[in-house]
Amino acid sequence: MGIRLAPMSPDEYQKFYNKSIQEYAYNQVAVGNWRAQDAVSLARQELNEMLPQGLETPNAYLSNILNDTDVPIGMMWFYIDEGRPQKTAVLLDFFLFPAFRNQTLAMEVLSVFEKGVRAVGVSRVELQVFGHKSDEIRLYTENAYQQTMVLFAKDLVE
């Protein structure tokens, strides 16, 4: 059967939600966008704006990543935007659980994801990666993703 995506249950969504808030807050602090004391609150606010109806948010797909024996190996969240010139899947979060992290498996998951969204008429995938996530940048670069925008920052500290 191979890798497949399956919808999250409400309990799985809650675990995903909690993990996403913590990780997003951490990354925003790591790149200097937010103060640590505000980060969790800001992350929760942004996530609630992006998923106002949780699992029922229109065009939002929250999935478990299952291996060939139906063991959950990670999670994925993407949004399909039909209002762009090309129907676009925006990959918002994708991770493998620590025991399953390796480049080959991540590449296989991306391939399954791309095949699935292509089957529903998506012709473009977009995503954003924090600059300090070199493993993720390498994963996408090695899978023919092209850089479309770069954000620079400089702290002016004496």
Token pair 């702290």: residue: 155
Give the SS3 label for residue 78: strand
User: How many structural domains are present in the chain?
Assistant: 1
CA-based nearest residue to 5, from 131, 120, 137: 120
The β-bridge relationship of strands 88-96 and 60-66 is unpaired
Within-domain flag for 138: yes
Mean pLDDT, the chain, whole residue set: 91
Structure tokens at 18: 């909690």
Within-domain flag for 25: yes
Within-domain flag for 54: yes
Within-domain flag for 125: yes
Going across the sheet that includes 60-66, the strands are 4-7, 60-66, 72-81, 88-96, 124-127
pLDDT tens digits along 136-148: 888 888 888 888 8
Within-domain flag for 137: yes
Within-domain flag for 153: no
Structure tokens at 64: 């478990």
**Please, what sign has the CA dihedral across residues 137, 138, 144, 147?**
positive
Within-domain flag for 147: no
Are 29 and 35 a contacting pair, CB within 8 Å? yes
For the chain, helix, strand, coil in percent to 5 are 45, 20, 35
pTM: 0.87
> What is residue 139's predicted lDDT score, i.e. its pLDDT?
82
pLDDT tens digits along 27-46: 999 999 999 999 999 999 99
Domain at 125, CATH number? 3.40.630.30
Within-domain flag for 149: no
Structural domain span for residue 15: 4-142
What pLDDT band is residue 1 in, cutting at 50, 70 and 90?
Answer: low
